[in-house]
């Protein structure tokens, strides 16, 4: 039991150090050496828990996304408004991590390993948004719900990029315009 607890504590120190470094120096400044030095662990301890620096960074991003997830168990209880609000909260409330997420997605254009991880995450999000679309508009066929989910996520990503570059941009107001009429009325009424 003691070794397990030590492992969990070491993992959290590594993730805390990674979070801190990402906020302070961005993804370019995060190195394995910097993470291990900040976490006060050896490289061997790091590699016992993470396969690479990118794995630690992806875990930090995953935790930030999960922290705003309206339905972390994936039980299908989230509405489109819930999912839009979570996306807005991630982009505006976790801005250093949101920036890192977008940078990682960009690195996926040239790194197939990162591309696979980003695409897996994106596909899960599309499924969640498509399910919510079908709950919101039951007459939608699954393919149409998935297409609407893709368009909505593309628009939300663009709005998020604008919000990250322009602190005065009201991302939520613009994001609510993406909701179907009934959901938009509930969200603003």
The CATH number that applies at residue 24 is 1.10.10.60
Predicted TM-score (pTM) of the model is 0.83
Using DSSP's 3-state secondary structure scheme, residue 145 falls into: helix
Residue of 11, 40, 15, 35 lying closest to 25 (CA atoms): 35
Using DSSP's 3-state secondary structure scheme, residue 189 falls into: coil
Dihedral over alpha carbons 83, 89, 94, 100 (to 10 degrees): 40
| pLDDT confidence of residue 172 | 95
In the structure encoding, which two tokens stand for residue 176, read together?
């609510």
Do 42 and 72 belong together in one domain?
no
pLDDT 10s digits, 65-119: 888 888 888 788 899 999 999 999 999 987 788 888 888 889 999 999 999 999 9
Q: Which domain holds residue 41?
A: 1-53
Do 73 and 142 belong together in one domain?
yes
**153 part of a folded domain:** yes
How much is the average pLDDT of 22-42? Answer: 92
Do 40 and 107 belong together in one domain?
no
Do 175 and 87 belong together in one domain?
yes
What confidence tier does 189 reach under pLDDT thresholds 50, 70, 90? Answer: low
| pLDDT confidence of residue 156 | 96
Do 167 and 95 belong together in one domain?
yes
| pLDDT confidence of residue 186 | 63
Do 176 and 143 belong together in one domain?
yes
Do 41 and 101 belong together in one domain?
no
| pLDDT confidence of residue 26 | 86
How much is the average pLDDT of 33-44? Answer: 95
Other beta carbons within 10 Å of 40: 11
| Domains identified in the chain, total number | 2
* 162 and 169 Cβ atoms separated by less than 8 Å: yes
Do 38 and 80 belong together in one domain?
no
What confidence tier does 169 reach under pLDDT thresholds 50, 70, 90? Answer: very high
Distance CA 70, CA 149 (A): 17
Do 31 and 77 belong together in one domain?
no
**28 part of a folded domain:** yes
* 70 and 86 Cβ atoms separated by less than 8 Å: yes
| pLDDT confidence of residue 88 | 95
Mean pLDDT of the chain: 90
Tell me: pLDDT of 7 over 60: yes
How much is the average pLDDT of 14-30? Answer: 91
Question: Among all chains, which residue has been given the structure tokens 């150090």?
Answer: 17
* 18 and 30 Cβ atoms separated by less than 8 Å: yes
What confidence tier does 183 reach under pLDDT thresholds 50, 70, 90? Answer: low
Do 158 and 88 belong together in one domain?
yes
* 14 and 49 Cβ atoms separated by less than 8 Å: yes
Region class of 71: left (phi > 0), else alpha (psi between -120 and 50), else beta: beta
């Amino acid at each position: 039991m003691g070794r397990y607890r030590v492992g969990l504590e070491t993992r959290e120190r590594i993730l805390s150090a990674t979070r801190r470094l990402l906020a302070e120096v961005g993804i370019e400044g995060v190195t394995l050496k910097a993470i291990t030095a900040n976490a006060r662990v050896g490289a061997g301890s790091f590699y016992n828990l993470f396969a690479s620096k990118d794995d630690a960074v992806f875990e930090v991003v995953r935790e930030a996304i999960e922290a705003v997830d309206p339905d972390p168990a994936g039980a299908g209880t989230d509405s489109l408004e819930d999912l839009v609000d979570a996306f807005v909260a991630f982009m505006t409330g976790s801005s250093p991590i949101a920036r890192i997420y977008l940078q990682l997605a960009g690195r996926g254009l040239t790194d197939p390993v990162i591309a696979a991880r980003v695409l897996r995450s994106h596909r899960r999000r599309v499924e969640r948004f498509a399910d919510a679309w079908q709950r919101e508009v039951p007459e939608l066929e699954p393919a149409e719900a998935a297409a609407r989910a893709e368009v909505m996520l593309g628009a939300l990503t663009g709005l998020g990029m604008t919000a990250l570059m322009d602190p005065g941009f009201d991302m939520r107001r613009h994001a609510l315009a993406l909701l179907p009429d009934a959901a938009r009325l509930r969200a603003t009424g």
